[in-house]
Amino acid sequence: MWGRAPSPVQAEPSPAGACRPNMDSNADPVIQYRDVSYHLPDRRPVLQSLNLQVCRGEIVVLLGRSGSGKTTALKLVNRLLEATGGEILIEGRSSCEWDLIRLRRHVGYAIQEVGLFPHYTVARNISLVPAIEDWPKERIEQRLSELLQLTGLGPEIASRFPHQLSGGQRQRVGVARALAADPPILLMDEPFGALDPLTRSDLQREFLGLQQKLRKTVLFVTHDLHEALLLGSRIALLEQGRLVACHSREEFLASSDPLVRKYVEAFATSLANSTPGGRA
Amino acid sequence: MSFWSFLAHNRAQIAGLTLEHLWMVGLSTLFAVAAGIPLGILITRKPGLHKPVIATANIIQTIPSLALFGFLLPAPWIGERAGRLAVLALALYALLPLIRNTYAGIRGVDRAVVEAARGMGLTDWQLLYKVELPLAASVILAGIRVAVVISVGLATIAAAIGAGGLGELIFRGLAMVNNTVILAGAVPAALMALLADVLLGLLERWLAPPRAV
């Protein structure tokens, strides 16, 4: 592979072949994977020499089947897992140099299982980090109502407990909680994966609308090509711990890479089968 | 003399012994909680310690109570007063349910909740007291409940080394071959155990988190 970038690093020295957005050359990289590897304690590799950049304001989707290493790649950013090789730069600084707690509060995190605190009301769930950060009470309350509105939740939800919510509402609360302290970066691990198709498509659409307003830097994990095409500024395809391709929507659909083709074809077949005309 | 008239005649003494009993159980439970909960938390953080700690607590549990009282007799300061000795022995017995339930309670917290909490940037300490301990509280309390019920029964044996408590009546009744005297010690002890069980059970239900999601 390409090895580590030459140091010291000032003007963008990312290794050749690293996946970067091609639209504008002055894009500001917020997350940079540099030759990142991760292996399990028994030395089984999960992720190998990943080079990838996520620029300010874009949604990069990590696409791949289960076991492809996409969730691992995500967790390396907020250091729920520590990379065993290479480094990840967050806003130009190596993730290891960040204070762990500061880093995590700088990076919102939403997961499929949501993981709401069952003993807290929705309001306390959402405002936990601002409260820990000692925001003044009025500011927390203002932020709370802002977030409820932003995520399409009624104010009456605030006093409920997670078990009193529907799956879609829970996921909205999860997103609101991830956004609570207004982190510039958002990590999302199949946040809409466990929802019914209608609710999922509602939330996907709303999330796009939200992103138009907020312009967060988003790294989004999914195994669903439809979701990837809908949300992703760019799509990074992972297979067995390796980055296979990283393309914009159009490039992805037009790519000649065999694995990408397989994905696109499987997707096209499922579309054809689901429309009445598609059945012979 | 009937049971009831015996109780009526000796109510002052029985009340005194009951208080002594309660004191032993209460104090020993306090010590067991103070040692057992931190130990239980520790072994969730240091998995290598889990086996040795649980094994030690298990071994203590298997020592017959009379023998444990005997073993502790030569200990300095502790051995000087029967009351101290009894409290220590009871605390040691109560350790196992406390350690085990604290461990199980914390490990039983939904993995997604813990991961979300970590991902949000909670410190280890915040994770523990804002998330894990509140969610494990009812399981930990169930451990305390088991420990208290065991202690109330075991504390009767403390009378054998002169630590007092309701066991005194039981041992006296045994020596006198008088069932009334035995019952005067056994019935209040049984009632105490039942009452503790019911009250702690109510507290446990009150502490249980809203239905887990």
Check CB contact under 8 Å for B116 and A109: yes
β-sheet bridge partners, residue A29: A55
Burial class (CB in 10 A: 0-12, 13-18, 19+), A22: exposed
Q: Which of B142, B120, B144 is nearest to B130 (CA)?
A: B120
Q: Which of A187, A221, A171 is nearest to A66 (CA)?
A: A221
Which run of H or E residues covers position A60? strand A59-63
| Longest Cα separation, chain B | 70
Q: Is residue A10 pLDDT above 70, yes or no?
A: no
Check CB contact under 8 Å for B210 and A115: no
| Longest Cα separation, chain A | 64
Q: Is residue B141 pLDDT above 60, yes or no?
A: yes
Residue in chain A closest to B112 (alpha carbons) equals A115
The answer to whether B12 contacts chain A (CB < 8 Å) is no
Average pLDDT over every residue of A79-107 = 95
Residue in chain B closest to A74 (alpha carbons) equals B119
CA distance B30 to chain A (A): 26
State chain B's mean pLDDT as an integer: 92
Locate the DSSP E strands across B2-58. none
* Rounded-to-integer distance, Cα B112 and Cα B40, Å: 21
The answer to whether B129 contacts chain A (CB < 8 Å) is no
The answer to whether B130 contacts chain A (CB < 8 Å) is yes
3-state secondary structure of B169: helix
CA B59, B64, B68, B70 dihedral sign is: negative
pLDDT in the model for residue A276: 58
Q: Which of A3, A28, A184 is nearest to A87 (CA)?
A: A3
Q: Is residue B173 pLDDT above 50, yes or no?
A: yes
Compare B81 and A6 and report the one with higher pLDDT: B81
Q: Find where tokens 């630590």 sit.
A: B163
* Rounded-to-integer distance, Cα B146 and Cα B143, Å: 5
CA distances B42 to B37, B102, B123, Å, are 8, 10, 16
pLDDT in the model for residue A137: 95
Distance of CA B49 to the CA centre of its chain: 22
* Rounded-to-integer distance, Cα B178 and Cα B165, Å: 18
Check CB contact under 8 Å for B119 and A113: no
Angle at A221 between CA A217 and CA A225, to 5 degrees: 110
Among partner residues A109, A128, A163, which is closest to B119 by beta-carbon distance? A109
* Rounded-to-integer distance, Cα A108 and Cα A181, Å: 8
Q: Is residue B72 pLDDT above 90, yes or no?
A: no
Q: What is the DSSP letter of B173?
A: H
Q: Let me know how long chain A is.
A: 280
How would residue A158 be classed by pLDDT, with cut points 50, 70 and 90? very high
Q: What is the DSSP letter of B209?
A: P
Alpha-helix residue ranges (DSSP H) falling in chain A = 70-77, 100-106, 122-132, 137-150, 167-179, 197-214, 225-231, 249-254, 258-274
For B46-68, write each residue's pLDDT tens digit. Answer: 999 999 999 999 999 899 988 88
Which run of H or E residues covers position B145? helix B133-155
Q: Give the pairing type, strands A59-63 and A85-90.
A: unpaired
Q: What are phi and psi of B18, to 5 degrees?
A: -60, -45
* Rounded-to-integer distance, Cα B194 and Cα A4, Å: 69
Contacts of A187 in chain B (CB under 8 A): 119
Answer yes or no: are the C-beta atoms of A132 and A104 closer than 8 Å.
Answer: no
Q: Is residue A12 pLDDT above 90, yes or no?
A: no
What percent of chain A clears pLDDT 70, i.e. is strictly above it?
Answer: 88
Answer yes or no: are the C-beta atoms of B35 and B91 closer than 8 Å.
Answer: yes
* Rounded-to-integer distance, Cα B213 and Cα B201, Å: 23
How would residue A20 be classed by pLDDT, with cut points 50, 70 and 90? low
Q: Which of A221, A257, A205 is nearest to A75 (CA)?
A: A221
Global pTM reads 0.86
* Rounded-to-integer distance, Cα A176 and Cα A110, Å: 9
3-state secondary structure of A12: coil
Q: Give the pairing type, strands A45-55 and A234-239.
A: unpaired
* Rounded-to-integer distance, Cα A71 and Cα A69, Å: 6
How would residue B75 be classed by pLDDT, with cut points 50, 70 and 90? confident
Check CB contact under 8 Å for A104 and B110: no
> Own/partner pairs for B11-14, CB < 8 Å, 24+ apart?
B14/B166, B14/B169, B14/B184, B14/B188
